[in-house]
Each structure stands twice: as C-alpha cells, then as structure tokens.
Structure 1
Amino acid sequence: MASASQALNESQKASERTHFVLIPLMAQGHTIPMIDMAHLLAEHGAQVSFITTPVNATRMAGFINHALATGLTIQFVKLNFPAVEFGLPNGCENADMIQSRDLFKNFMEACAALREPLTAYLRQQHPSPSCIISDMSHWWAADIAREFGIPRLTFNGFCTFASLVRYIIVRDNLLEHVEDENELINFPRFPTPLQLTKEKCPGSLSVYGLEQIRKNIYEEEIRSSGVVMNSFQELEALYIESFEQITAKKVWTLGPMCLCNQDINAMAARGNKASTDEAQCLRWLDLMKPGSVTFVSFGSLACTAPRQLVELGLGLEASKKPFVWVIKAGDKFPQVEEWLAEGFEERVKDRGLIIRGWAPQVLILWHKAIGGFMTHCGWNSTIEGICAGIPMITWPHFAEQFVNERLVVDVLKTGVEVGVKAVTQWGQEQTEVTVTRDAVEKAVSKLMDDGEAAEEMRMKAKEFGVKARKALEEGGSSYNNINLLIQEMGNQANASG
C-alpha cells in the first residue's frame, strides 16, 4: 500500500509541476482541437499556457469564460499580432480572414514574429514551461523550446493515417518530379495499399514563397521530441505503430479531443456568436424519425461553387430523404439565395432544413434523428462523425481530406464516396460542377436505405463511436496517454531543473 500511495503522490507532484505551452495555428480547424487539448491536460492536473491573439481570444470567449468559472488551470496569453507590419489588414489574425492565398506567406511570417514576445513572457512564468506543444507549422517554437531546454511536441490536427502519408511524401520528395496532376502515386512502406493522384495528395498546394518555411517546418519536425494526435489507439493502431517505426517519434494519441466536453466545444467554435438557428434546428430534428436525416456540412474553409451547390441541392431533393443542409449563401452567393427562394425551400420544407452560416455541428451529429453525415472530410468533422457513430458520405475538397476519405471508405468501411473528381484548392473558388445531382442522390440512397451494405456501415460506425468514447473514459487508451504525457514531461522538467 505504501508503494502505491507513494506512486500516486509522485504522479500528483508531476502533474502539479508540469506546465504545457500550447501554440495553435490561428485557423479554426487547428485551434479548436488545441482548445480541447488544453481542457484535457488541465482536467488531468497540468498547468497550461494557451497562446492566442486578441481577435482569436474574442472568438473563443465561451471557452475562456468556462475555464475561469470552473477553475481550470489554463492561462490565456494574448500576444499582439503584427498584421500590418507584415502587409496584412489590421486585425487579420486568423487564416479564414486572409483575403488571398498569396498573403499566406505574410501570415506565416507574422506568426513567426511572435517568438520574441512569447519568449519574454515565458521567462517570467513560474513554474517554468515543461513542454511546448505547437502546431507543426510553427517551426519557430522549436527555438523557444531549445532556449528553455524543454521538449517540443508537434500537432497538426491530422489523423495518424494522413500524417504518415504526408511524412512519406515530404521525406521521399514523391511529388517533386510528377508533372501530371492525375498520375497515381504509390506510397513506399505504407502499411496498407494506397494510391492517390498527385492532385489529391496533401502538400500539393503551391503557395508562392513558402519553400523556405516548408523546409524549416520539416527540419524542425525531424528534431521534435514527439507528435500529438487527435485520434485514439483503437481507431488507427496499425498506422500509429507504422508512424512510430518510420519516424522514430513517439505518438501521443490524446483524442478524440472533441469529447472532452461537447458543450464547451460548441462554445469554443461559436465564441460570442449566438445561433438563432440552433433551437429551431433541434426542434425540427425532434420531429424526424430516428436515423432518417442526412446532415450536410462542408466546414469553414471549403469554397464550393454556386452552380455546384445548386446541383447538390437538387440531388438532395431527388433522394426524397430528410436532410439538414449547412449552406454558404447570403450576400456572397446571391445566385444561390435566388435559387433557394425560387422554389427549392418551399418544395423541400417538410423534409429539408437550410442553415445559413454557422451551425451547432456537434449537437446535430449527436441527435437521434441523424443517420448520415455528408462531409468535406476535414479531420475535425470526420472525428466528430466517428464519435457520434454516424456513417458518412465523403466529399473532400483539398489538403489531406482525400486521404481521410480513404481511411473512412477503405479502412474503417463506414462511408461511401460521392465521387469527387477534381480538387477545390483552398483560396480558389471552384467554378465547375464536378459532382452531379445523380451522384448525390445515389450516395444518399446507398447510405440511408435499408440494404445490407448500409446496415453493415451503420453497425461499424456505431462500434467505432463506442470505442471513441471509451478511449477517454478512466482507464481508456487516451485517458492513460494523457496521464503518461503529463508525468513524463513533468519528470523531465524536474530532472533538468
């Protein structure tokens, strides 16, 4: 008993002296899981300094207020963001505020300029930092870690499957001499068969002037002490093992991070913005049969062409299945608003709900009426669908989304492809219709009908949902990893101190 008590005391002491510094990339898809990570670490007894900027702090006001009210040991550090000094509009502090992808280099350089003020701030802190967990893109955070003599772990918001694909592409320069965007790429040492066209590979996006920054990111990734993943052991065991073997890096799976507190997650996404549609949406869903509704949402950055949105809507109508559709309409897409008003909303009013702008995605996915999720396959949305135990219709747009599609469709076998043929690059509006209404109708019918294949997908999805929840419960794989991470970083800090 004495040894067990002593071990518990040592664990508690490690937690108390462990101070994590979290530095997210200022983009919603990267920031939200790191907010959840901060919650999980603090909930397990660690101290957290969460680095942000004034505009981004306003966006996450709901979470900040909750952390203060509940006494979570999270310090929100608001550093002034030098937007104007780097040729950005004043107040441009998030990737979704960048007006042209040609300014992304300016944005990344402005982020790197936070190094000195952050270092000065951390010198004043007691206890001193034990570990920095920064977005992979913040290569400059490694300099701060070296100055303090502490580990730096990277986080990129991908799953391990996609992270391994990206790592192999960069390590082997797989795309360097491939000129044809439609040429199929094979992945050496990948644990399961995988082929992707060059266009659909992560990292194929070309942004002028980023070559040196990409080089810095990769070099510091190689030197990092490990990787944090928003995933869980039971979902990706084979790929976690392969990633550790190929990179010689420890993988800390701490997810699904969105499960730390779904209400807080929703507040973090919403910030101060109240959703007038939220109550209406939930009331509408209450009237639907369990498992009958398809939820359609493509995230915050995907820019789908108006003509393609119309084609999508006509496919949903033709399916004759109930749906909730989060649509980017309004002032930016007057032609879509005109089409909606010309009869579409009236024709589908008994089985279709349109939400313009932000929607309470987590709350919707967990509603008993939802039976399918048409998604752009961003990892945050994908893992939220997995947690809710919902099968998916995959409609990737760019980045690693086509890789996530392969995980969902080929490995997990919990989804069907809608059949996207072309990539919609971030920062460039799609112009052509690449998915027909017939393809939409076929995918919805395949997922939502009562056939044997659909039933098998639903069963598998529910099983992964149960495993996801168990991972973060006491004794679960991610629960244990959080405690081990805190103890290891705390012990290292104590040894070096």
Structure 2
Amino acid sequence: MEHQNSSTPHVVIIPDPVQGHVTPMFHLAELLCLAKLNVTLLSTTYVHKRLNKSIEARFARYPGFRFEVVSDGLPDDHPRTGSDGCWASIQGFALTAEPFLRGMISIGTSVTCLLVDGWLGFANNLAKEVGIPFIALRCYSAANNWLDIFVLKLIQDERVPFKEEDMDKLVENVPGLDTFLRNRDLPSFCRTKDRATCLGLQQAFADEVQRTSEAYGLILNTFEDLEGPLLSLLRSKCPRVYSIGPLHSHLKHRLDEEKTTLPISSSSLWEVDQSCLSWLDKKPAESVIYVGFGSLTILEKEQILEIWEGLVQSNKYFLWVIRPNLVIGGENGTPTPTALLEGTKERGCIVSWAPQEAVLAHPAVGGFLTHSGWNSTLESITAGVPMLCWPYFADQQVNSRYVGEVWKIGLDMKDKCDRKVVAEMVNDVLDRKKDELKESMARMSEAAKKSVTEGGSSYCNLDRLIQDIKMMSIKGAD
C-alpha cells in the first residue's frame, strides 16, 4: 500500500510483539491515521498471522497506513508466554527488525520519526545514527516509568535483591512512591535472589533510562487526573511527556467525532468467544466477577485449582477466561474435582478468550479479578468496574498497589493464592466493600472519559503530539 505523498509526515511505530503492547499501538496508529499522517507499523509475522483479519480491512480505509512484518525467529508453536517467552520474542524481533528498518530507510523511504516501544534499543540507536527523531513510547504507567529510573539505584545500593522477611518494608528514596510502595510491590524481576541477574538488570535499566533521556519525548497511555503527580516528576527528566490515554477510549471518541460507523476491530491475538455475552445477559446487575489474567500469565495447576475453589466457594457468578496455554502441565495430574465442575455448571462460565471491553461494559459485571496489566487496568477504570488484583509479573505489582492503596478503586491480593482468601475478597468486591469501591471508581471513570473529550488533558496532549510531528516534517524538509 502506497503512502499518500512525500510531504505528509511519516511515522514508523515499533511495538514490542506481545498482546499488551500490540493493542494500544494499534489504537495509537489509528489515531495518527485520523490526523492524516502516514503510518507504518512494524511487527512480527506471528502477530500478523494471529490478528483478527478485520484489522486489515479496517486500516484499508487509511491510504497512508502500511503494515510491515518480520520474523521473530521463533517457531509458530512457541507459546511466547511467561517472562521467558515474552523476552525471547522481543529479542528475536530485535534481531530481524533492525536490518529491515535500516534497509527501509536506506532505499530512500521518507521517515519523519520513530515511535519506539519498550526494550527495542536497536531502533533508538538507528534513529540517532541516521538523524531521525525518535519518541519513546511506553505501554505501562507513569509510576512504572518513574520507578525505572530508580531501580538502577536500588540495585547499586544493594537494596535489590531483598530478603524474604523484608517484603513489607517500604522502598526508600524513591520520590513520590516511598510513602506506600513496599518491596513486594516492586516489579517482579526485583525478587530475584541472583546477584548476577541483578547486575544484568542494572545494565538493562541504565540503557533504558539513557534512551528515554535522549528521546525527543515520551508517550504514555495514561491521563493527568490518574497520575498527575508522577507525570510532573517525569517531566523533570523528560520535558515533553504526552499523556494521551486511555487510548482505547480516546480512539472511540475521535471516531465518534469523525462520525464513522465502523466498529473498532479487535486486535486480539486470540479468537474471541462472544457467547459469554449471552450468558451475562441472563445474570442480575453487578452480580458477576469477571476473571481474566491476560495473554502472558502462566499458572500451575495447583494455583488454578485454588482460584477455582475460591470462586465456587464465594457463591457468586463468575466468568473466567482460561487460555489454552494458561496452565503449566494442565493436561497432566489429578482430574478436576467434581464439586468444582458442578459449581461451575451452576454459577460459572469459562471461555478461552473474551471480548474484554464489552464484558467490562456489561451491566451484569460487578468486579474484575485481574492480573493488573496496564491495559486491563485502564479498561476497568473506563468501564467503572472495581478490581481485585492478583499481579503476575513486571509492572503489574506496582499497578495493583496503586489500585488498592492510592486510588482506592480495588483490592490488592498479590502473593496470595488461597481459596478462602479468594472467596472472601470476591465477596468484598461484590458486596461488603462494593459501595466505597464503586464511589471511588465512579469518580476516576468520569475523569478518564473527560480526559479524551475536546478540551480534556489527553485530547490536548494528542493534538500537541501531532503538531510536534508535523513540525519535525517541516524541519526535515528545510
């Protein structure tokens, strides 16, 4: 597909090739397309094969959009889940994407700037080499971006790794976080007991912090009313911070302004089971706990059974997403207890993948048992659904602490996998603490919606980002 013309700014977006990054990147890509920019999105063959085919049809309405793919070097049947699988996919992508991107630029393709995600340092290095501006694009919270700067110091001061008995000790000397963030709330990789691993992390974070400081700006999928204090701190290190989220809600609003009748196509890498919506239609208002642990979480069979037992013992309705590769050793071991199967038949619904935004917007859903991925957190906030957080890895530990301790829009269940705890906390969310959680969530949900409407902070920040990219194009033509 040819781009519109050479005078139109051309942005190349390079996401980490995992679901939690692909989804917001597609939202951003379409927002830039709506602004009449040329956009190339570079991802992997694996991602492209698994995307809902309506995505291609949707983007066909934008003559300036192009999707380029390279291999991540892994076999098609590689699960690409868990921290190891995620990292293997990112590393493989970096190896093949760097020469492809270099070749694209070397043959004279006009590129105004690169929007570079995550740990893809090759793109930053190439941008500096050829003199193209690059903007750092992070798919996690402002709090986690701020914490990245200080993880380096925590390792150097040997406060990471920390001892088991120090899990609930407050993290010191991290401005804005040190009054409530505990060791157990640090990103999961801080829990390593291996000093050598820590030294590797130290170098990785040193590189990441340097790349952010060298970038023209920083794009974040968040909004001012949610993380204003942290965004102010980040601007002391990186003056141009564009908080333009929640991206999924922002895109819907801009499409409404365009008066388009096209629904937003799913960018899910999993086949969505819509039948759960019909199941929800038959349930009372706010009576269902929705359970979804994202695309990368992997659990042991014992963990699944404890959570399952807790859901059944709660005596509440539950809708649970269990991916085919969610469970380690799921095909082996003891059979599922009959009581669980009977309890699920009576009160539960299990699907392999759900249309999450539609589920959270359904009036029957009263709570969300989540892994605390950033996309899920923002989707829950926008829908006004209180959360029960059970984080798995990376930034999710920080997110869950904010949900429970700072924003007061949910409960934090991290590091617990006990059926009695699950049952108790499900009842807290749906009954005992329902009113206070809903009150806090309603205020935050309203703020999220206002941020993406005309005059709102995210709306204005996106306009500023688009104008800055256009100015880059003008300067590049001089």
Give the structure-2-normalised TM-score. 0.85
What is the CA–CA distance in structure 1 between the aligned matches of 2:421 and 2:474, rounded to whole Å?
58
d(CA) in 2 for partners of 1:210 and 1:265? 40
Matched position secondary structure for 1:114: helix
Partner of 2:405: 410
How many residues align? The count is 454
The answer to whether the Cα contact below 8 Å between 2:288 and 2:316 also exists between their aligned partners in 1 is yes
Q: Does 2:38 match 1:26?
A: no
CA contact (8 A) 1:36 1:258 kept: yes
1:334 to 328, 331, 335: 331
CA contact (8 A) 1:166 1:202 kept: no
Question: Structure 1 residue 185: deviation in Å?
Answer: 4.9
Give the Å deviation of 1:387: 1.1
Aligned residue in 1 for 2:244: 254
Match of 2:257 in 1: none
Distance 1:405 1:396 in 2: 7
Deviation of 1:239 after TM superposition, in Å, equals: 1.1
Q: Is the 8 A contact 1:258 1:265 kept in 2?
A: no
- Whole-angstrom distance in 2 between the partners of 1:181 and 1:199: 14
- CA pair 37-337 structure 1, distance change in 2 beyond 3 A: farther
How has the CA–CA distance of structure 1 residues 266 and 290 changed in structure 2, closer, same or farther, with 3 Å as cutoff? Answer: farther
Question: Could you report, residue by residue, the CA deviation over 1:297-318 in whole angstroms, capped at 9, with x for unpaired residues?
Answer: 1111111221121111111111
Structure 1 residues 352-373: Cα deviation after superposition (integer angstroms, max 9, x where no partner): 1122x22221111111111100
Indicate the SS of the match to 1:97.
coil
Deviates more, 1:316-325 or 1:168-177: 168-177
**2:173 aligned residue:** 188
Aligned pairs (5 A) from 1:225-236:
225-236=216-227
Map residues 144-293 of structure 1 onto 2, 5 A cutoff. Answer: 144-171=126-153, 173=155, 176-182=158-164, 183=166, 184-192=169-177, 193-197=179-183, 200-201=186-187, 203-204=189-190, 214-245=205-236, 247-259=237-249, 260-261=251-252, 267-270=266-269, 273=271, 275=272, 277-278=273-274, 280-293=275-288
Distance 2:154 2:239 in 1: 18
The 3 A distance-change label for structure 1 pair 174 and 156 is: farther
3-state SS of 1:291 partner: coil
Q: Which amino acid aligns with 2:437?
A: M
Check conservation: 1:139, 1:221, Cα contact below 8 A: no
Contact 1:38 1:50 in 2 (8 A): yes
Kept in 2: contact 1:41–1:486 (CA 8 A): yes
Cα displacement (A) at 1:124: 4.2
CA positional deviation for 1:345: 2.7
Counterpart of 2:388 in structure 1 is 393
State the Cα distance separating 1:130 from its structure 2 match. 1.7
Identity of aligned residues (%): 27
User: C-alpha displacement at 1:205, in angstroms?
Assistant: 6.5
Q: Deviations over 1:395-446 (max 9, x none)?
A: 112111110011111111100122x33xxxxxxxxxxxx4211111111111
Conserved in 1, the CA contact under 8 Å of 2:83 and 2:393?
no
Q: Amino acid of the residue matched to residue 296 of structure 1?
A: V
Structure 2 letter corresponding to 1:22: I
Query: Is contact 2:185-2:397 (8 Å) kept?
Result: no
- TM-score by structure 1 length? 0.82
Residues 242, 337 of structure 1: alpha-carbon distance in 2 compared, 3 angstrom cutoff: farther
Q: 3-state SS of the aligned residue for 1:299?
A: coil
More divergent stretch after superposition (290-299 vs 183-192): 183-192
Q: Matched residues in 2 for 1:445 and 1:408: separation?
A: 18
Change beyond 3 A, Cα 1:165–1:264? farther
* Partner residue, 1:494: 474
Deviations 1:221-246 (A, max 9, x none): 2312221111111211111111212x
| Amino acid in the other structure paired with 2:473 | A
Structure 1 residue 442 corresponds to structure 2 residue 428 = no
Alignment of 1:133 onto 2:115: yes
Q: Distance in 2 between matches of 1:444 and 1:189?
A: 33
Does structure 2 conserve the Cα–Cα contact (< 8 Å) formed by 1:165 and 1:187?
no
Match of 2:32 in 1: 41
Deviation at 1:31, TM superposition (A): 1.6
Contact 1:181 1:199 in 2 (8 A): no
* CA–CA separation in structure 2 for the residues paired with 1:135 and 1:352: 38
Unaligned runs of 5+ in 2: 1-5, 254-261
Q: 1:467 aligns with which of 447, 470, 474?
A: 447
Q: Per-residue displacement from partner, 1:128-149 (whole Å, max 9, x unpaired)? A: 2222111130111112222442
Q: Which residues in structure 2 correspond to 1:1-12 (within 5 Å)?
A: none
Q: Which residue of 2 aligns with 1:4?
A: none
CA distance in 1, matches of 2:12, 2:140: 20
CA contact (8 A) 2:161 2:191 kept: no
Single out whichever of 71-80 and 254-263 deviates more from structure 2.
Answer: 254-263
Q: Out of 40, 65, 79, which is 2:56 matched to? A: 65
Preserved CA contact (<8 Å) 2:22 2:267: no
Q: Is the 8 A contact 1:20 1:49 kept in 2?
A: yes
CA distance in 2, matches of 1:441, 1:90: 40
Amino acid at match of 1:40: L
| In structure 2, distance between residues paired with 1:102 and 1:213 | 18
Determine the C-alpha separation between the residues in 2 that align with 1:307 and 1:106: 27
**Residue type matched to 1:204 in 2?**
C
Q: Distance in 2 between matches of 1:155 and 1:337?
A: 45
Deviation for aligned residue 1:179: 4.3
- Partner SS for 2:190: coil
Counterpart residue number, 2:300: 305
Distance 1:471 1:125 in 2: 39
Write the deviation string for residues 80-114 of structure 1: whole angstroms up to 9, x where unpaired: 44x1xxxxx4447x8x5279939946851651442
For residue 217 of structure 2, what is the amino acid of its counterpart? Answer: G
Residue 349 in structure 1 maps to residue 345 in structure 2: yes
Contact residue 33 and residue 62 of structure 2 kept, 8 A: no
